[in-house]
Structure 1
Amino acid sequence: MSHDASTDATVSAPALDEKSAHLAALLERVSRRDARAFETLYRTSAPSLFGLAVRVTRTSESAEEVLQDGFIKIWRFAGSYDPGKASPSTWMSSIVKNQALDYLRRNPYGGIYVEELDERIAAGEAEPDLSHEFSLDAERLSSYLGRLTPVQRQAIALAYFRGQSQSEIAHTLDAPIGTVKTWISRGLESLRSMAEARHAPHRGGIY
């Protein structure tokens, strides 16, 4: 029996590298409400977890909120961590990512994806299909998108810049798919009207 236990320990030990073993030990201490261990865990893991939160939420302000909420959950549920199922980093990343997704569902119209859209247009990365559809350059496209309602811009950003389907957009924005279809169609219709007005000949007066 002792031989089997030794074998099991030998097999499972390499599963965690030195850093992961250190984090697992910290989590075990945190599960016993060791505040110092929690502080060390935060200093060690916060930078990478903050980066994850920024990638999901797209803003540093929202990422900070997500990170704090995530560490509150890590403190509360450290005892549920099982090193046999995941590395400490993976386990904590899952918590923070879920917090970030919850944040997006609570704040679906916060301009998160609109900011990404603006950045990509400014960098000359406007989606070709969207630019060519209305014969607009990036600067004018950005100007016209700015005239849409926030929800229309949000939905179009997800559709054209994230490549999400209408059902995925409905899930992201926590809205009925019929509403999402309306936002997109009306937004595109508005863009088309603005583009056509630009190309229409002026009658009378001085241009």
Structure 2
Amino acid sequence: MPRVASTDVNAGATTGEERNAYFAALIARIARRDAAAFEALYRASAPSLFGLAVRVTRTSESAEDVVQEGFIKIWRFAGSYDAAKASPSTWMSTIVKNQALDYLRRNPYAGVYVDELDDRHAASDGDASHQTALDAERLSGYLGRLSPGQRQAIALAYFRGQSQSEIAHTLGAPIGTVKSWINRGLESLRAMTEPRRVPPRGGFS
């Protein structure tokens, strides 16, 4: 879904309250399957929702998919929107954030650590850059051998600095499960990276 600049929002919707009233009116029309209202809502809100999706998924490609899926749900469930429970902006943001989290759960890699490895590579130069590239490739290979849960939990903890409770919220998993993923994943990584002792000819004495 293309990203469209929010240039035609309602000229009179200058405050947050007026903007929400405008969005609520559009959602009410969308509930009656008004395609013009749906397009207007998309043009007005897609840029900020896209930004939210990027913050969660970390890649523009996945964010575009998330926003597209989010607007499909907005179209389908517009009739269930209740202004007494949430503002239109909050309701739409919740839909898109949930879609983004679902995307992370469905896609084990999901850009969680790739961007960080690329950034470290770009920050180096010369021989250091070559070594960093080798280290990044090696680390990516190690992480790829973990289970999806272990891989995501470790990446969120060490690349994004999230706490275990934040990781549990991001992945929708109990905190005990997150602790287990991290502990077992680190044990597996240590086993992969520790040099193996090669017995001398004739075996160990």
Q: Secondary structure at the match of 1:113?
A: coil
Counterpart of 2:114 in structure 1 is 115
C-alpha contact 2:66 2:100 (8 A) present in aligned 1: yes
1:19-78 CA distance string (max 9 Å, x none): 221111111111111111011111111111111111111122221221111111111111
* Structure 1 segments unaligned to the other structure (5+ residues): 1-14, 126-136, 195-207
C-alpha contact 1:144 1:191 (8 A) present in aligned 2: no
Looking at structure 2, the residues matched to 166 and 86 of structure 1 have their Cα atoms a distance apart, in angstroms, of 28
C-alpha contact 1:16 1:87 (8 A) present in aligned 2: no
Would the alpha carbon gap of residues 117 and 18 (structure 1) be closer, same or farther in structure 2, given more than 3 Å must change? same
Q: Secondary structure at the match of 1:84?
A: coil
Q: How many corresponding residue pairs?
A: 168
Looking at structure 2, the residues matched to 167 and 21 of structure 1 have their Cα atoms a distance apart, in angstroms, of 35
Would the alpha carbon gap of residues 157 and 123 (structure 1) be closer, same or farther in structure 2, given more than 3 Å must change? farther
C-alpha contact 1:54 1:63 (8 A) present in aligned 2: yes
Higher helix share: 1
Q: Which moved more, 1:87-96 or 1:171-180?
A: 171-180
Counterpart of 2:32 in structure 1 is 32
Read off the aligned partner of 1:33 and give its amino acid letter: R
Within 5 Å, give how 1:5-154 maps onto structure 2: 17-107=17-107, 109-122=108-121, 124=123, 141-152=135-146, 154=152
Q: Secondary structure at the match of 2:113?
A: helix
Would the alpha carbon gap of residues 19 and 170 (structure 1) be closer, same or farther in structure 2, given more than 3 Å must change? closer
Looking at structure 2, the residues matched to 151 and 117 of structure 1 have their Cα atoms a distance apart, in angstroms, of 18
Q: Supply the RMSD in Å over aligned alpha carbons.
A: 3.1
Looking at structure 2, the residues matched to 191 and 67 of structure 1 have their Cα atoms a distance apart, in angstroms, of 39
Looking at structure 2, the residues matched to 169 and 192 of structure 1 have their Cα atoms a distance apart, in angstroms, of 27
Q: Give TM-score, length-normalised by structure 1.
A: 0.66
Looking at structure 2, the residues matched to 28 and 173 of structure 1 have their Cα atoms a distance apart, in angstroms, of 31
Counterpart of 1:132 in structure 2 is none
Correspondence 1:182 to 2:184: yes
> What is the Cα deviation at residue 122 of structure 1?
3.1
Looking at structure 2, the residues matched to 28 and 151 of structure 1 have their Cα atoms a distance apart, in angstroms, of 48
